């Protein structure tokens, strides 16, 4: 089994290989976004527009907690691919064992303070007496269960990176389908409102985490949990963190951006503007996670072939992913231009909220088409282990350009300025990403001529 996996990564045509890895990865990441979208759709229709606003307040806290899961999961997945490409299976299993221990340690030190200071955090995030009760009802259940989220999504990435893309897809689908089934039961049948959505999410994550972890104790897995690696190895931790720091920084930056964004929205648009942003973020998440899924499908191929020294296969795979991701975002942009109101009505029937969100969606997505290549290039540098470029590219879109735009544009254009900050940041971040990629390609060509 291990010989078949490594042979395919090294010799099969990149297009066919990418299809084999990207489709399951896309399903996995779309499942991730479905957890959020399904909750918002049921809550919007079953609880009300202010409940959506309350749920929007949870974004910064959940992104903060999930950042640590990404630090471990994404970093470990990339390192496993590179070590397998170098035929160093023992190091790959050492990464796996250290990733499990780190997940439990970091979860304890992040979940505890989040619960202790929850009310103060929600006020800081732009909450009001109308929205904070909804956020608290949701978070008091979901925050403790974040350990399940980290195990589920983090080790799913490692499963995919070690050569099991289809199994990774199915383990994520199990949780998503269960969440879709349980949400209406707890929200409508048991009349539990937003707490019901939280309970459904926790149960679904628990089941998904159990399936993912079972894979790494089964004999069919290429790499497995081994007792001798259940101890912290600082060199291995360094390997994980050096790559994982990029998605970690991006997620942490996203949390900070949400704090700034929520306060701007509340200042210039009130509680309903928060709800509008929650819907816009849900739609954007669907598209971004689709592109991230394609990029994650790219990661084992590029990581393995980079480790094996096959540069031509690395670049051919990257080219295919950039074209595909740009097409995906282009389709999303067209839908936001021609069908914004139809999209928004999937989340709410409140006419005032529909009007605010429709306008925000069109403005927010005005440069969406360029985002696909920016995300792909960032994942490319992550896949080959160039940590500082990945970090800078991740932060450029989430923080470096977006936060200043959120301070400059709203005082001039009001609520429209909040929506316009995103496309300005998208454009500048994409230019930066392409500059890095062109420099990398030219440097490689120059080295090959020497």
pLDDT tens digits, residue range 209-242?
A: 999 999 999 888 889 999 899 988 999 999 898 8
Q: Does 102 or 163 have the greater pLDDT score?
A: 102
pLDDT tens digits, residue range 320-340?
A: 999 999 999 999 999 998 999
- Secondary structure of 28-64 in the HEC alphabet? HHHHHHHHHHHHHHHHHHHCCHHHHHHHHHCHHHHHH
pLDDT of residue 436: 95
pLDDT of residue 342: 93
Q: Coil, strand or helix: which one is 311?
A: helix
With contact defined as beta carbons under 8 Å apart, do 387 and 247 qualify? no
Number of domains into which the chain is organized:
1
Judge whether residue 145 has pLDDT over 90: yes
pLDDT tens digits, residue range 267-311?
A: 999 899 999 998 998 899 889 888 988 998 898 889 888 887 888
Judge whether residue 1 has pLDDT over 50: no
Judge whether residue 9 has pLDDT over 90: no
pLDDT tens digits, residue range 356-366?
A: 999 999 999 99
pLDDT of residue 5: 66
Distance CA 391, CA 242 (A): 10
pLDDT of residue 3: 63
Nearest residue to 28 (alpha-carbon basis) of 197, 126, 154, 146: 154
Q: Does 30 or 67 have the greater pLDDT score?
A: 67
Structure tokens at 128: 């009001």
Judge whether residue 113 has pLDDT over 60: yes
Distance of CA 107 to the CA centre of its chain: 18
- Mean predicted confidence (pLDDT) in 240-258: 81
pLDDT of residue 33: 72
Nearest residue to 40 (alpha-carbon basis) of 50, 26, 27, 31: 50
pLDDT of residue 28: 67
- Residue 340's domain spans which residues? 2-449
Judge whether residue 419 has pLDDT over 70: yes
């Amino acid at each position: 089994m291990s010989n078949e996996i490594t042979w395919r990564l090294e010799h099969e045509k990149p297009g066919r290989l990418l299809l084999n890895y990207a489709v399951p990865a896309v399903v996995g990441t779309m499942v991730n976004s479905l957890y959020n979208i399904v909750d918002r759709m049921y809550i919007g229709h079953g609880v009300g527009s202010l409940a959506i606003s309350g749920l929007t307040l949870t974004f910064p806290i959940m992104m903060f907690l999930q950042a640590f899961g990404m630090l471990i999961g994404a970093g470990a997945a990339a390192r496993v691919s590179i070590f397998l490409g170098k035929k160093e299976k023992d190091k790959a299993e050492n990464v796996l064992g250290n990733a499990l221990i780190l997940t439990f340690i970091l979860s304890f030190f992040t979940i505890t303070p989040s619960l202790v200071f929850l009310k103060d955090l929600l006020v800081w995030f732009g909450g009001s007496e109308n929205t904070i009760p909804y956020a608290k009802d949701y978070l008091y259940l979901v925050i403790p269960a974040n350990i399940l989220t980290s195990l589920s999504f983090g080790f799913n990435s490692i499963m995919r990176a070690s050569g099991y893309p289809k199994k990774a897809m199915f383990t994520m689908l199990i949780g998503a389908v269960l969440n879709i089934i349980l949400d209406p039961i707890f929200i409508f049948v048991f009349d539990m409102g937003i707490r019901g959505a939280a309970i459904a999410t926790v149960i679904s994550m628990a089941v998904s985490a159990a399936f993912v972890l079972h894979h790494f104790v089964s004999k069919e897995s290429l790499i497995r949990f081994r007792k001798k690696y259940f101890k912290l190895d600082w060199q291995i931790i360094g390997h994980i963190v050096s790559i994982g720091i990029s998605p970690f920084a991006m997620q942490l930056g996203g949390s900070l951006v949400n704090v700034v964004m929520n306060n701007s929205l509340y200042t210039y648009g009130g509680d309903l503007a928060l709800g509008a942003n929650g819907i816009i973020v849900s739609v954007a998440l669907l598209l971004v996670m689709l592109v991230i899924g394609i990029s994650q499908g790219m990661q084992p191929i590029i990581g393995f072939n980079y480790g094996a020294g096959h540069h031509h296969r690395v670049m051919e795979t990257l080219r295919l992913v950039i074209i595909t991701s740009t097409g995906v975002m282009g389709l999303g942009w067209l839908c936001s231009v021609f069908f914004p109101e139809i999209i928004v009505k999937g989340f709410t029937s409140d006419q005032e909220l529909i009007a605010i969100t429709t306008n925000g969606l069109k403005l927010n997505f005005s440069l969406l088409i360029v985002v696909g290549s920016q995300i792909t290039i960032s994942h490319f540098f992550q896949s080959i282990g160039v940590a500082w470029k990945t970090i800078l590219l991740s932060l450029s879109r989430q923080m470096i350009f977006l936060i200043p735009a959120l301070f400059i544009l709203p005082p001039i254009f009001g609520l429209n300025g909040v929506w316009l900050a995103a496309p300005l940041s998208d454009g500048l971040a994409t230019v930066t990403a392409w500059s890095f990629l062109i420099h990398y390609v030219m440097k490689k060509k120059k080295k090959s001529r020497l």
